[in-house]
Amino acid sequence: DYELCEEWGRLYPIPREDLINLHREHLLHLLEMGDMEKALQLLQRIEDPGVCLAISEQSLDQHLNLAASHFLADYLTAHFYASLTTARRNEIQALYIGSKVLLTLPELSRVNYFHLSSRPLLMLEQLLMNMKVDWVAVAVQTLHQLLAGQEIGFTVEDIDNLLSKYAEKALNFPFTLKEKRS
């Protein structure tokens, strides 16, 4: 049905908003089906960059599954980096990095942290609070690699400060040890 509507759009003029809605719904359908190749082809067929940007951004704001969010964040960064505001750019890059970190977690646990995908530092803190030290090690390594030369609202130093804070708390004993007397 989407392809038929797209054909009609080539033959008859469609208002811009309706065209955006049509392509957005088609893109969301393809992403839900997990067909990233066809989704990319759809985005490449759209001639107007403004329409393509609007469709991609609106689709990203739908809070799709992990793979779809990662795909859209990557696409927006690769094709529309200069067109985005600094705040939106940081938000999209944080989502991209957060989704990369999520992909390092065991598959069954990703759902527990998906809501934090756009806030990688908070995700890292949640992992620390849940005592998932092995996962934190992999996440920190991934973050260090991804943050090299990037500006997304936090830095490697922020990660190190967070780790230091929780390391200090781990060593903080709320009671005094008493010596045993014989």
pLDDT in tens, 33-92: 888 999 999 899 888 899 899 999 999 888 778 888 889 999 998 899 888 888 888 888
Query: Which has more pLDDT, 126 or 10?
Result: 126
* Listed ranges 18-22, 167-171, 173-177; the one with the highest mean pLDDT: 18-22
Q: Which residue has the higher pLDDT, 152 or 126?
A: 126
Q: Model's pTM, two decimal places?
A: 0.75
| Residue 157 φ then ψ, to 5° | -65, -35
How many Å from the N-terminal Cα to the C-terminal Cα in the chain? 85
Q: Are 157 and 169 in contact (CB under 8 A)?
A: no
Distance (Å, whole) CA 106 – CA 94? 20
